[in-house]
């Protein structure tokens, strides 16, 4: 199952952003894999207090969202160019919610987990 971990400045989370990001990131997966994937994404949002975030060795004065998407490796080969399409779709999703000006600062990492190295309900998948 696709699992998103998103780190962004705490002040960016205002009660309206959270549900919008959850919906938008779910849609990002659906855009790549189709409607069959809608029920699969899990999204965790973590707010980082200003002063505990830095870029290039300096405290960040702007938000630089970091999105990590962890999913089973075989899923990255189910559709053509899945990693590139996911990176683009996830970046679009974040920009849709937080504004286009944030697009150049959105970092997306995709981690493919080999079969048998993850589990659900205590069972390897």
Question: Does the predicted TM-score (pTM) go above 0.85?
Answer: yes
> What is residue 9's predicted lDDT score, i.e. its pLDDT?
95
Alpha carbon distance 25, 61 (integer Å): 25
Q: Where are the domains of the chain?
A: 3-50+78-118
- CB-CB contact of 79 with 33 (8 Å): yes
Residue listed under structure tokens 């994404």 = 41
pLDDT digits (tens, 9 = 90+) for 23-51: 999 999 999 999 999 999 999 999 999 98
Q: What is the CA radius of gyration of the chain?
A: 15
């Amino acid at each position: 199952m696709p699992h998103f971990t998103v780190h962004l400045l705490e002040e960016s989370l205002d009660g309206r952003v959270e549900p919008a990001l959850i919906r938008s990131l779910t849609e990002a997966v659906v855009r790549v894999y189709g409607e069959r994937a809608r029920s699969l994404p899990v999204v965790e949002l973590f707010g980082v207090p200003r002063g505990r975030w830095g870029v290039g060795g300096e405290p960040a004065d702007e938000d630089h969202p970091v999105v990590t998407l962890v999913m089973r490796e075989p899923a990255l080969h189910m559709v053509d160019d899945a990693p590139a399409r996911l990176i683009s779709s996830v970046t679009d999703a974040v920009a849709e919610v937080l504004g286009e000006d944030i697009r150049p600062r959105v970092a997306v990492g995709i981690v493919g987990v080999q079969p048998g190295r993850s589990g659900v309900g205590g069972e390897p998948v």
